[in-house]
Amino acid sequence: GITVIKISPDGKSLAIGCAKGSMKVFSYPAFESISTISGHTGPVTHFDWSENSLIIQSNGMDNKLYFWEAKTGNLVKTGAVDYRDEKWATWTCTHGWPVLGHMQDPNSKITSCMRSY
């Protein structure tokens, strides 16, 4: 099933996170397939678009943080370093630089996160 849906900041793409650990990116509003993203071993729980709509960061029930090229679906293996200072349109991921402290606690059960200004 579907776990998360978000439209890109430029309004041209829509991404859907799935319970099987994958994501699909579609053109919006035409809804034509752009890419398939696969890598999480559990449901995708959160994801965010970069402000330029080129990168997606995602978290899953597998407690992983991944970075993806939205147009190709390719995993950016050095994403945590490459995108450390990236500007994100939203921040709902529960893993990543701004929420690093809680990741050191093995008993952490944070299920939601939202950046505010």
What ranges in 5-113 are assigned the alpha helix state H?
A: 79-82
Per-residue pLDDT of 44-78, as tens digits, reads 999 999 999 999 999 999 989 999 999 999 999 99
Rounded CA separation 86/90 (Å) = 11
Radius of gyration of the chain (CA): 13
- 103 pLDDT above the threshold of 70: no
Whole-structure pTM over 0.85, yes or no? Answer: yes
What is each CA distance from 13 to 30, 59, 71, 79, 81, in whole angstroms? 9, 19, 9, 21, 25
Q: Is residue 11 exposed (0-12), middle (13-18) or buried (19+ Cβ within 10 Å)?
A: exposed
pLDDT-above-90 percentage for the chain: 71
Distances (CA, A) of 42 to 46, 97, 102: 12, 22, 20
Lowest mean pLDDT among 3-12, 44-53, 67-76, 99-108: 99-108
| pLDDT number for residue 116 | 54
